[in-house]
Amino acid sequence: MGALDKSLRVLVAIIIALLYYLNVITGTLAYVLMGIAIIFLITSFINFCPLYTVLGINTCKRK
């Protein structure tokens, strides 16, 4: 996973958390988006996205 990909995932997760905290998103949508945000954070911290492996996507410039 490339640096830009990791940065975007963390940024999206922070935005989702902020929207939840400010009660902009509520209910089921809030829970679904928070789940996605948690997944984004975990995959950013471990530098691996299982979905990318299945789809054959590689955003890392190193070999």
**What are the 10-residue block averages of pLDDT along the chain, 63 residues in total?**
88 96 95 96 87 77 67
pLDDT for position 53: 75
pLDDT for position 18: 97
CA 45 – CA 52 distance, rounded (Å): 15
CA 32 – CA 51 distance, rounded (Å): 18
CA 47 – CA 60 distance, rounded (Å): 10
The structure's pTM equals: 0.80
pLDDT for position 49: 81
Burial of 49 (0-12, 13-18, 19+ CB in 10 A): buried
